[in-house]
Amino acid sequence: MSAEQQERAVRCLVAKVGLDGHDRGAHVIARAFRDAGFEVVYSGLHRAPDDIVQAAVQEDVDVLGISILSGAHNTLVPKVIEGLKEYDAFDDTLILVGGIIPDEDEADLKELGVAEVFGPGTPMEETIEFIRNNVPERA
Amino acid sequence: MAGSDAPAFADAPTLSDADAALVEDLLSGSHRALARVITKIENRTPGYRAIVSALHEHTGGADVIGVTGSPGAGKSTLVDKLAATYRDRGDTVGVIAVDPSSPYTGGAVLGDRIRMGSNVGDMDVFFRSMSARGQLGGLSTATADAVKALDAFGKDVVVLETVGAGQNEVDVVRTADTVAVLVQPGSGDDVQTLKAGILEIGDVFVVNKADMDGAQRTVAELEEMVHRREGGTTGRGAGHHGAASMASTGAGGSAAGHGDGHHGGDHADGSGHGESDGHADDSDESWTPEVLETVANSGEGVEALIETFDAHAAYLRESGEIETTERRRYAEEIRTLVRADVGALATAEIERRGGIDRLAERVRDRETDPYAVAEAIVGPIADCVDEVADGDRDE
């Protein structure tokens, strides 16, 4: 007998990978996500791709938002995606990248499995709306 | 107790094939499966009960440590260092860190993970953040179930970390075998106002940031408080635990004494020795909470703290206290579940009768009254229970 209702919350990991130390944006995003009713785990600064994978797997997040302002996205993002695949966590994690990403790189990242890239000036509502519409359904 | 008149239990909830595979994966060491099981527990995804049921027989191997204390006391940093120290000696570690969620949006920023700097990249530390969602059956049920998942997975130690703010949180740490309460130095008034419930659940009191001014005073105040709590029946630091409690003040001694004398040296006040010596008696002592000092940032005192956790675990086993504790804990779990389930039945019944707002409006209009409404809702449930009970007797 379990008449109790489910309590599903969207879980997000806001991740800073690599050497850039600018996390104002990540903080603002984390807060906006919280206010949208999401549960947000923030990775802290200067994480290695493996650390991000560890956090994403253990926290079982629906959404992984990677903030990169250093320009190293072409090396870092593929490593994160590889790691997620290794733990069988790639398929049902919505991967977003935020930061300054050139258009040609954006296409490559999406090819790899990044769902969307949000550049500077993206309205917060747009990102939140995107997550609401695309968060993976889980069994 | 389980005499012939005890009603037979229905079978455990049935596992779906997918969930059975998930349990199988968890037991064979898949991190992904473990993470997913905890998510199901958190979300109360249909079927999660069968999963927890299936895991239960695989539990009981882990030492469960609860860590609580006011915000800013350094819980997360200490838990990080604890995990690293456990890892150094070869133990695998699970951590459940509970953070409050907004009562308005349900959202939360789960920030404890940032402090886990010593263990990033080490998959043998499984760290999971949980938010205190407005859960019906109580947060403690969800965290206790998550602990079971980590235990069944094979973790040697599971640490439950929570802000010691309200009854909810107190209930959470109560599901641990050993509870450490963190206190900040210089919080004299804090110590005075430590919630009674929190003081009573502490097996170990930790004055963290012990390098700050006022640490000694806080230690003294806590010891005084622990002493008072013991009601003077056993002297301060009585029994063989007294020796361990001296570890932080450099006195050395039994179980926990060695290896840490160096750090306590500068704090040593030596007071209390005489009293504790007089009562040295190793048999049938009840546990006297210990007061330790740590500096979580540098890791100072963490080893001594772990030794004290071990000493407490050994005490629980040797005194047989563990059986009492477990029985009490499971009793509480059963009660909580039953209350939640019956509550859910009642909620469904309220919905069927047009919802709580409509019922409240009818009461406001003096059409009926709260007692009559409650009776109308619970009555049929009570009748069902009576019927089943009668049926059992007739058989």
CATH of residue A82:
3.40.50.280
- Confirm whether A5 is domain-assigned: no
Q: Which of A38, A39, A89 sits opposite B32 (nearest CB)?
A: A89
Q: Is the CB of B109 less than 8 angstroms away from the CB of A5? A: no
Q: List the single residue in A36, A48, A51 with the smallest CB-CB distance to B107.
A: A36
Given B294, B319, B344, the domain boundary residue is: B319
Query: A109 to chain B nearest CA, in Å?
Result: 24
Specify if A6 maps to a domain: no
Q: What is the DSSP letter of B113?
A: G
Residue A91 lies in a domain: yes
Taking CB atoms and an 8 Å limit, are A39 and B127 in contact across chains? Answer: no
Are residues B193 and B274 located together in one domain of the fold? Answer: yes
Looking at the domain assignment, is residue A3 inside a domain? no
Q: Which residues of B touch A41 (CB under 8 A)?
A: 110, 113, 129
Asked if A4 and B106 come within 8 Å (Cβ–Cβ), the reply is: no
pTM over 0.90: no
| Residue A2 covered by a domain | no
Q: For the segment A43-94, what is each residue's pLDDT rounded down to a tens digit?
A: 888 888 999 999 999 999 999 999 988 888 888 999 999 999 999 999 989 9
Considering the domain architecture, whether residues B145 and B224 belong to the same structural domain is answered as yes
Nearest to B31 among A11, A47, A87 (CB): A87
Domain contains A120: yes
Pairwise CB contact (< 8 Å): A42 & B127: no
- A44 vs B13: CB contact, 8 Å cut-off? no
Strand residues in chain B grouped as ranges (E): 63-69, 93-100, 108-110, 125-132, 157-163, 178-183, 204-207, 290-293
In a domain, B32, yes or no: no
Please tell me whether residues B315 and B180 are part of one structural domain. yes
pLDDT tens over chain B, length 395 residues: 444 455 555 566 788 899 999 999 999 999 999 999 999 998 888 899 999 999 999 999 999 999 988 778 888 899 999 999 999 999 999 999 988 777 677 777 787 888 877 887 788 999 999 887 755 446 788 899 999 999 999 999 999 998 866 667 777 887 899 999 988 887 655 666 565 666 778 899 999 888 888 888 888 888 888 877 666 444 333 344 444 444 344 333 344 334 343 443 344 343 433 333 333 344 457 888 899 989 988 889 999 999 999 999 999 999 999 898 889 889 988 988 888 888 888 999 999 999 999 999 999 999 999 999 999 999 988 888 888 888 776 65
Q: Which of B200, B197, B211 is nearest to B294 (CA)?
A: B211
Tell whether B310 is covered by a domain: yes
Q: List the one residue out of B99, B225, B210 whose CA is nearest residue A30.
A: B99
Evaluate whether residue B168 is within a structural domain. yes
Q: Which domain holds residue B370?
A: 332-394
Query: Distance from B12 to chain A by nearest Cα, in Å?
Result: 11
A→B contacts (Cβ < 8 Å), by residue, are: 1-9, 11, 30-31, 33-44, 47-48, 50-51, 54-55, 57-60, 87-89, 138-139
Whether residues B151 and B205 share a domain: the answer is yes
Same domain, B192 and B218: yes
Beta bridge partners of B79: none
- B173 found inside a domain: yes
Query: Contacts of residue B101 in chain A, CB cutoff 8 Å?
Result: 39
Q: Identify whether residues B345 and B257 lie together within a single domain.
A: no
- Residue B47 inside a domain? The answer is no
Closest A-chain CA to B343:
A4
CA A34 to chain CA centroid, Å, is 14
A31·B109 Cβ contact <8 A: yes
Q: Are residues B83 and B230 in the same domain?
A: yes
Cα B97 to Cα B322: distance, rounded to the nearest angstrom: 24
- Asked whether residue B301 is assigned to any structural domain, the reply reads yes
**Do residues B308 and B248 touch, judged by C-beta distance below 8 A?**
no
Print the domain residue range for A30.
11-133
Which residues of chain A neighbour B377 with C-beta distances below 8 Å? none
Place of tokens 């909810």: B168
Nearest-neighbour CA in chain A from B48: distance (Å): 10
B247 vs B232: CA distance, rounded Å = 22
Q: Is residue B21 part of a domain?
A: no
Domain final residue, candidates B261, B284, B319: B319
Do B290 and B340 fall into the same domain?
no
Please tell me the total count of domains within chain A. 1
Q: Are residues B284 and B374 in the same domain?
A: no
Question: What does chain A look like in DSSP terms, one character per residue?
Answer: ---PPP----EEEEEEBTT----HHHHHHHHHHHHTT-EEEE--SSB-HHHHHHHHHHHT-SEEEEEE-SS-HHHHHHHHHHHHHHTT-STT-EEEEEE---HHHHHHHHHHT--EEE-TT--HHHHHHHHHHHPPP--
Q: Domain boundary at B276, B297, B319, which?
A: B319
| Residue A31, in any domain of the structure | yes
Considering the domain architecture, whether residues B340 and B310 belong to the same structural domain is answered as no
Of A11, A41, A54, the CB nearest to B121: A54
Q: How many domains does chain B have?
A: 2
Checking ipTM against 0.90, whether it exceeds it is no
Residue A15 lies in a domain: yes
Q: Are residues B254 and B205 in the same domain?
A: yes
Mutate which of B16, B17, B32, B45 to disrupt the A interface (most A C-beta within 10 Å)? B32
**Contact residues, chain A, for B121 at CB < 8 Å:** 48, 50-51, 54
Tokens at B372, concatenated: 């009559």
> Do B268 and B336 have their domain in common?
no
Burial of A66 by CB count in 10 Å (0-12 exposed, 13-18 middle, 19+ buried)? buried
How many Cβ pairs within 8 Å bridge chains A and B? 117
